[in-house]
Structure 1
Amino acid sequence: MPGTLTRKRRTDAEDNRRRIVEVARAAFAADGLDLPVREIARRAGMGVATIYRHFPSRQDLISAVLAEQVARCGEEMRAALADPDSRRALRGTIVRFGERQVHDRGLNEALLGSHASGAAFAEQRRTHAEAFAQLVERARGDGALRGHVSVDDARIALMAIASFRALPAERASSAIRTLTDLLLTAVLNEE
């Protein structure tokens, strides 16, 4: 019986950790990384001590959330590179990037801006940028991309989309979607 109780505690602890990261991700995405731990605990329906039991410091919690976000982006980039349809892969990547600017504002400010927490992920960002360059080159080689569009042009398009996250949330959502559609029309050849 003692092994069963230990396993139950371990499962409960793992569930709590997952719940904390899930709630913190949504909270940081919407409200930024300055959100107090006590507010994350309140939203998770847990005590602050439970949060600190799993994440000894606020920075540990932020790092766990950002690591999950970066890992998800990496998985999506690998899937895009594996997609045999270069147009669909590039289009999907740009659309997902735009959607992240709308839904993950606080996380993107850390990862793409000058927030100290994002610095730990510089190598992964470089890897994602290299994968994006491969997507652009492949789309151009396949004729899916307008011939005059370079990797730098495509990166500027992403920077333009990202710059709209500074707008108030209600305006940013519409503006980012509109700009994403306009940029896709400008860079991709007609189907």
Structure 2
Amino acid sequence: MEKYYKIKVTDVSELNEQYKEAIQEGTYEGEDVNKFFNTIKTFDVAESLLKKDFSNQYIKFDIITDKEKIPLNIRLGDKNFEKGIEHLINIGSSKISKENINPEIKKDLNNQLGTYKPKVYDEMLDGTFKALKNLSEVANKDIGVMISEFANSYSETREKFEKKQINKKSFFKEKM
């Protein structure tokens, strides 16, 4: 699906070095917008687990559409990136009204900024394993084989767990 907006990261100076390696200043368009939001949501959740209420990691970025530019300054660690575009505007921008946003763009942004679901994590892990495997094959065949075996083992374990969950007796099913 074509995006009718882009993300321009304007300041990462208040992010730690590890986050700066993954999120760089510049413009994200098309499929890179999805990658940006998935990455920043992961960092947001990680920061909430690591630092609780003491995170001092901030990112400044603009959401740019044909008609408006929404400047945002958001702290990581509060799971703000799972609460929708209205929430981000409320906490990170005083320069725009959330009513001015194109409804189509608003809907897409809210889909991007929804809570993680286990399936999304699984897809992210699968993608990470594939990327690691491809990268390691270039560097060293043995590492590539090891990562491939680990990924296969993980996938098999996940499938067994999912089957077990489906067949598991439910308290509510028994009572009905």
TM > 0.5 fold call: no
Between Structure 1 and Structure 2, the one with more strand by share is 2
Between Structure 1 and Structure 2, the one with more helix by share is 1
**Larger RCO: Structure 1 or Structure 2 (Cα < 8 Å, ≥ 6 residues apart)?**
1
